[in-house]
């Protein structure tokens, strides 16, 4: 699978007001479920262990290989936008690069 996730250029990063803020287990679950939906999932299973601050989301959506996962964990990385113009035609729930980096 080719690498489809890339770090955004500085001029695009500067146009995004703020990254995701993960301040609760609910916020983490929301981000992960949104990623599942964006990946085309039709079945999502959420497991939560609040006393350990542990969350697991499993789905049947389109996955990614290790190289894309490593790139997605970098700040401001996404496969959904590449230019400023893309910011005005977003048709998804979010950017994995923002959510994954915030969760990390």
Name the maximum alpha-carbon separation found in the chain: 43
Return the pLDDT at 96: 57
CA-to-CA distance for 33 and 98, rounded, in angstroms? Answer: 14
Return the pLDDT at 54: 92
* CATH numbers and ranges of domains, the chain: 6-103 (3.30.565.10)
Return the pLDDT at 94: 67
Q: What is the pLDDT along the chain (104 residues), one digit of tens a residue?
A: 676 888 888 888 777 755 566 788 898 888 889 888 988 999 999 999 989 989 999 999 988 888 888 887 777 777 777 788 888 887 877 655 566 666 66
57: β partners:
46
DSSP E strand stretches across the chain: 6-7, 44-49, 54-59, 77-78
CB atoms within 10 A of CB 1: 9
CA-to-CA distance for 77 and 68, rounded, in angstroms? Answer: 10
């Amino acid at each position: 699978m080719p690498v489809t996730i890339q770090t955004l250029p500085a001029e695009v990063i500067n146009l995004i007001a703020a990254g995701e803020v993960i301040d609760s287990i609910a916020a983490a679950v929301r981000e992960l479920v949104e990623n599942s939906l964006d990946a085309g999932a039709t079945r999502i299973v959420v497991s939560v262990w609040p006393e350990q601050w542990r969350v697991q989301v499993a789905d049947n959506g389109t996955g990614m290989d290790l190289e894309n996962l490593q790139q997605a964990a970098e700040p401001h990385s996404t496969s959904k936008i590449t230019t400023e113009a893309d910011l005005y035609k977003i048709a998804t729930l979010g950017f994995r690069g923002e959510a994954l980096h915030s969760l990390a």
